[in-house]
Structure 1
Amino acid sequence: MTQSDGWGQIVGAYEHPARLAPDKTVAQLHAEAADGALADAGLTRAEVDGFFCSGDAPGGVLSMANYLNLKLRYFESTDVGGSSMVAQVAQAAAAISMGWCNVALITQGGRPKSEGITTGTTKIVKDGSAPDNEWELPYRVANISNYALVAARHFYEFGTTSEQLAWVKVAASHHAQHNPHAVLRNVVTVDEVLASPLISDPLHRLDCCVITDGGGAVVLARPEIAASLSRPAVRLRGAGLALKHQEAGYIDLTYSGAAQSGRFAFAAAGVTPADIRYASLYDSFTITVIVQLEDLGFCEKGQGGRFVSDGNLIANVGRLAVNTDGGGLCNNHPANRGGMTRMVEAVRQLRGEANPQVQVPGCDLALVHGTGGHLATRHASATLVLEREG
């Protein structure tokens, strides 16, 4: 998907500050996130004529459009888990280019923390309604065991180690210390990650993302509208989407859908991984980051563990700044879907509005990648290359 001059530009972004919100409904979190992003853009709900939400939106697009009192020309409700909002940025930009809407709003919200959901250890297959679930239901698979399979295979194939996984968490903690809203703000060491309880071999507790309430939103607008606003705009330079599933029994745990979506996005943008100044990568678990770095081309397959070691993901220290807000590992993972917060931090970096301690100097090109679903079985990948406008 290649960017054209008429595509929508990101003009507003907002991350809800709540990490625990027992006093709010999910609809309220969507609405507050929407108003925050619109205020950031200098727009109002009355100017929104395109709306995008996903499976975390109560009642879907019909109920949420009614709740927000939006007068719409276009709407969409793709649900591919944590990659949904990343995919929807590409879809919204394309819808604007087609003339289907002028201002597009994408929202996310959820309360898994308040509702007592433990994503990592809760069964991810609860009934046999989906055609593949009946084959998995007897094994009571949990999310973390799914990702632990990927980690164990990576260890076996490439010699990756638990110490190398830990460096992903260490980098996230170095960034989170500068984020007043982050759930985990204490800097941790490799030894502390390894000393945390083993949940599903080889993944420890600190290899897992946080569980939070909250949400976020982004706003896209036609280029001429973006030019009339006072906030810096961010344009979509290229995008790629991909699905990876079990291919009728041929299962390879060593790669993800990012290998395809990343290739599409870089080709569309006309750039390479070496051109990227900042990367927002889905970090449900530490292994997720390592696999994505390889598949997106930041290092060779099997070299992800070495790539992340010794602080190489820490802003202004290592080779590539990744998740400078602390990511899902330390900051926020609202609705158990991390794509929106990855988008918001990338916008901050491109605007030069990230925390000064982690701001990448001269950040003009960023990558956002979301993974939705389960890495070992079936998932969607969405990759965006974003560029500071002007």
Structure 2
Amino acid sequence: MNASDSAYIVGIYEHPTRKAENTTTAQLHADVARGALEDAGLSLQDVDGYFCGSDAPGMGGMTMAEYIGLSNLRYIDSTETGGSSYVLHLQHAVQAIALGKCNVALVTLADRPVAGARGAGLAGVDFRQLPESEFQTPVPRSPVSGYAMVARRHMHEFGTTSEQLAWVKVAASHHAQHNPHALLRQVVTVEEVVNSPLVADPLHRLDCCVVSDGGGAFIVARADIAKTLRRPLVKVIGTGSALKHNHGGVIDLSYSAGASSGAQAFAEAGVTPKDIKYASLYDSFTITVIMQLEDLGFCAKGAGGRFVQDGNLISGVGQLPFNTDGGGLCNNHPGNKGGMTKILEAVRQCRGEAHPAVQVKDHSIVLAHATGGLLSSYHVAGTAILAAE
């Protein structure tokens, strides 16, 4: 049996907070778990599979299962691949359900890097212990410098412009204006993006994502269970994951691991990029979106800049609406790991429950994609394709 025949996303929840000054990380995990269960019409006792990343405090999933009150678990997964973790959790939950290892899987993300004054780091990950750290420590580095290098290479290789990058932010801002929880709700222009302060050449401040506290959760259930619940059916029809590394220093910055994870997901789903009318795409930086559009096959390699310009990503205007909640560029980026929110908005679109101003008309097949790590070095990509039933 194909794993994609067996599972549905039946519950979702996004925490409304963007700065959790008076809430612990554990409480955030519990809050989003409760919200997703209420959305699905299920209880803690129904959950027999639990998935989380390194943001889960204490001893990870074991500690959080105790804290939340998950007493019937028979499957647990603590895969950590940065921002793509939760797309991989979805893939693993579907596989576990197909194998009979669990029937109802809960996936949670929660973190508070803003309230904790941690900046752009990932909870539970000690970057000082990376084997390459002794060679890199003398050189100041941050995620934006790596993505700036990718952007500059894309410009050199394909003629991409700062104005084309800016169109990604413009589209996100058009969507965020309708989201009352979004950190940045003001619509911006191409000129405002390219005239914002330069952070790492060629990326400007408005080319960069926000940093926020908060979290989210979703629930995956066996098909027969899903069909007893009074929620729109969202079937997982295809998933894929892939890793790309430095190859000993011989690295091609023109593509990402999404080229492989996307191909896997499309093959499993039996659809093509032309069938996708909405896409949730990781938007840590504007260049990240352009790279993913190319690698997933929505346009040819090198054509991403031209694809996004003139509002082509704006719902109701362009060919492929993306991140209709405002995404990481405008809405939120809980724990610096955006894969969770990409799934949540894809499910809203697939259900027809996105904000009316941004809801796409044809939401029968949608896509969620995320990367974890750095596009300029090693990273893991995850792709999921969902279908309304």
Q: How does 1:68-217 map to 2 (within 5 A)?
A: 68-71=68-71, 72-119=73-120, 127=128, 129-217=129-217
CA 1:34–1:125: 2 relative to 1, 3 Å: closer
Alpha-carbon separation, structure 2, partners of 1:125 and 1:251 = 25
Alpha-carbon separation, structure 2, partners of 1:204 and 1:57 = 32
Alpha-carbon separation, structure 1, partners of 2:2 and 2:262 = 13
* TM-score, length basis structure 1: 0.96
Per-residue Cα deviation, 1:175-198 (whole angstroms, up to 9, x for no partner): 000011100000000011111110
Secondary structure of the equivalent of 1:301? coil
Q: CA deviation at 1:46?
A: 1.3
Stretches of structure 2 lacking an aligned partner (at least 5 in a row)? none
Give RMSD over aligned pairs. 1.4
Q: CA deviation at 1:4?
A: 4.0
Is the contact made by 1:126 and 1:137 (CA closer than 8 Å) also made in structure 2? Answer: no
Q: How does 1:41-52 map to 2 (within 5 A)?
A: 41-52=40-51
Is the contact made by 1:105 and 1:218 (CA closer than 8 Å) also made in structure 2? Answer: yes
Stretches of structure 1 lacking an aligned partner (at least 5 in a row)? none
Task: Report the AA paired with residue 329 of structure 1.
Answer: L
Identity percentage of aligned residues: 61
**For residue 247 of structure 1, what is the aligned residue in structure 2?**
247
Alpha-carbon separation, structure 2, partners of 1:172 and 1:2 = 35
Q: CA deviation at 1:2?
A: 4.9
Q: CA deviation at 1:109?
A: 0.4
Alpha-carbon separation, structure 2, partners of 1:213 and 1:297 = 32
Q: CA deviation at 1:358?
A: 0.3
Q: How does 1:20-35 map to 2 (within 5 A)?
A: 20-35=19-34
Secondary structure of the equivalent of 1:211? coil
Aligned length: 384
* TM-score, length basis structure 2: 0.97
Is the contact made by 2:263 and 2:296 (CA closer than 8 Å) also made in structure 1? Answer: yes
**For residue 302 of structure 1, what is the aligned residue in structure 2?**
302
Is the contact made by 1:125 and 1:137 (CA closer than 8 Å) also made in structure 2? Answer: no
Per mean C-alpha deviation after superposition, the further-off stretch among 70-79 and 110-119 is 110-119
Is the contact made by 2:279 and 2:323 (CA closer than 8 Å) also made in structure 1? Answer: yes
Alpha-carbon separation, structure 1, partners of 2:130 and 2:78 = 19
Is the contact made by 2:86 and 2:339 (CA closer than 8 Å) also made in structure 1? Answer: yes
CA 1:190–1:17: 2 relative to 1, 3 Å: same
Secondary structure of the equivalent of 1:196? coil
Per-residue Cα deviation, 1:302-345 (whole angstroms, up to 9, x for no partner): 00000000000001100101000000000010011000000000
Task: Report the AA paired with residue 41 of structure 2.
Answer: G
Is the contact made by 1:8 and 1:221 (CA closer than 8 Å) also made in structure 2? Answer: yes
**For residue 8 of structure 2, what is the aligned residue in structure 1?**
9
Per-residue Cα deviation, 1:107-163 (whole angstroms, up to 9, x for no partner): 00010111223329xxx9852x22222232222221100110000100110110110
Is the contact made by 1:2 and 1:269 (CA closer than 8 Å) also made in structure 2? Answer: no
Q: CA deviation at 1:8?
A: 2.0
Alpha-carbon separation, structure 1, partners of 2:263 and 2:242 = 10
Q: CA deviation at 1:232?
A: 1.0
Task: Report the AA paired with residue 311 of structure 2.
Answer: G
Task: Report the AA paired with residue 12 of structure 1.
Answer: G
Secondary structure of the equivalent of 2:235? strand
Per-residue Cα deviation, 1:257-312 (whole angstroms, up to 9, x for no partner): 00111111111111110000100000000000000000000000000000000000
**For residue 271 of structure 1, what is the aligned residue in structure 2?**
271
Alpha-carbon separation, structure 2, partners of 1:308 and 1:118 = 29
Per-residue Cα deviation, 1:1-58 (whole angstroms, up to 9, x for no partner): 95443x2210001111111110000111111000000000000111111000001111
Alpha-carbon separation, structure 2, partners of 1:264 and 1:4 = 12
Alpha-carbon separation, structure 2, partners of 1:61 and 1:185 = 35
Alpha-carbon separation, structure 2, partners of 1:21 and 1:109 = 10
Alpha-carbon separation, structure 2, partners of 1:253 and 1:293 = 15
Task: Report the AA paired with residue 22 of structure 1.
Answer: E
Q: Establish whether residue 346 from structure 1 lines up as the match of residue 346 from structure 2.
A: yes
